[in-house]
Copies of this chain bind each other. A is one copy, B any other.
């Protein structure tokens, strides 16, 4: 196999702040895309990438907002054996863009660089004063340009202008979400806080609540707020229909969405892939959403020796999608709906793949069949025909594609200080979680599955969680019931049938500030063996017993 080694500098890819660098990169990639093996090696330094001349593509990205044209800087689509060696280069991006995208790539390796944004998609403030009706913020208008306009707080970016919609408070010392914190949402739908903004001095904004609600009693001067004002629109790394993708020794300090997002891809390895804070730009937040997210992936997902911290959503989420049967046109032939707004337009299946039909009340399988034809009518609906007759194919029931099931290994990672949870595991493959450190405010491990809210499938078969440390997790009630949680959503149970099959927790260490360990529903068999539990005084204790257990099968405890 021909192997070409290219030095970035030879192609006009030089360190520095130049809008044409993106154009040079685009030209280079278009020229080598069809070559079988290409290594692109950068010299160390800081490279700026602007969206101005970037490639543009209509993308419906799962778990992101805005199904529209997105600018892409590194478009690695259809490459075979592409290897990027950063040599420690710093890649600085300018909004709005997707730094790395690959569609139908094979054997892709990205190695040895950092990713950050000059002006991130979120902003930050320090709480100066807080009373029930007013919070005074300090915002560095050099870093986070803003204007108070018509009583509204508007943040200005390089290519965006958005109103503040929400914030989340981080403890100044712990650099982690405040104990018992809640997301604060402003001026949107009816339930949100009604706020009003006033510029009270340079870098100082007073936020007044105009309705009967109050600011949170857990809010404190000195704490830091992540100010959210941008749609979750552009992942940092986005791979679709790829095979064998490896990220190695990559630091991702910010993304305008999920840091690493994969759909319908097989064999993905993240090793020393850190979604982490930067020394150069010491923001309290990293990615705008999850650190990693896998939708309808297959093969093996490996995440090892990585640090995921301070991102604005979960560390890892692995799942499929439930679509809802909308209209049965004739036997085995129907229109189905992608229900969740963030799943619109996502590819659900291909011909020949296997479909599972699911009862909407029990969430249990009614039957399986091969997909004979599949065509998207639009972002919302698709048309499908099945090869064999199948039970339960009625309007209101759900379907999932069971041809995409990854095995998962997550080991020797640290998950800390992010919004929400640690690992969301809903894969029917073999899942091993080993030797990790969890310091997360919500559930450290969550096994869900629902066809009513997030529409994230599916059932699990075999989850082994061993030799991990769960260090004072689950201190924010909104983000979980206990450090380990299984809560699929169902309305009815069937005797001796379960949504999740087998969960083993073995040899883990739990540092806990109260009694809560497991909250389990609808799991067939649970083994909780050789785990050590140690009490701490990290936070005030919350009500709850060590094992909450509802509609489960066998529980083995040693």
Residues in chain A within 8 A of chain B (CB atoms): 20, 23, 52-56, 58, 67-69, 71, 147, 149-152, 186-190, 192, 194-196, 210-211, 327, 335, 345, 377-381
Knowing that A56-B378, A68-B68, A151-B196 touch, tell me 18 more A-B residue pairs with CB under 8 angstroms.
A52-B381, A53-B335, A53-B378, A53-B381, A56-B379, A67-B68, A68-B69, A71-B378, A149-B189, A149-B190, A150-B186, A150-B188, A150-B192, A150-B194, A150-B195, A150-B211, A151-B194, A152-B187
B377 touches A53 (CB 8 A): yes
Dominant secondary structure at the A interface: loop
- Nearest B residue to A195, CB-CB: B150
Complex CA gap A149/B192 in Å reads 10
A117 → B minimal CB distance (Å) = 19
Residue A187 contacts which of B23, B58, B68, B150 (CB distance < 8 angstroms)? Answer: B150
Complex CA gap A20/B149 in Å reads 45
Copies in the complex: 2
Q: A58 — which chain B residues lie within 8 A by C-beta?
A: 58, 69
Known contacts A67-B69, A69-B67, A151-B210; A55 and B194 CB within 8 A of each other: no
A212 → B minimal CB distance (Å) = 13
Q: A67 — which chain B residues lie within 8 A by C-beta?
A: 68-69
Complex CA gap A20/B327 in Å reads 10
Q: A345 — which chain B residues lie within 8 A by C-beta?
A: 69
Q: A188 — which chain B residues lie within 8 A by C-beta?
A: 150
B194 touches A380 (CB 8 A): no
Q: A71 — which chain B residues lie within 8 A by C-beta?
A: 378
- Nearest B residue to A193, CB-CB: B150
A55 touches B150 (CB 8 A): no
A75 → B minimal CB distance (Å) = 12
A53 → B minimal CB distance (Å) = 5
B151 touches A378 (CB 8 A): no
A121 → B minimal CB distance (Å) = 19
Complex CA gap A388/B58 in Å reads 35
User: Would you mind naming 20 contact pairs between A and B with Cβ atoms under 8 Å apart?
Assistant: A20-B327, A23-B377, A52-B380, A52-B381, A53-B381, A54-B378, A56-B377, A56-B378, A56-B379, A58-B69, A67-B68, A68-B68, A69-B378, A71-B378, A150-B186, A150-B188, A150-B192, A150-B194, A150-B210, A151-B210
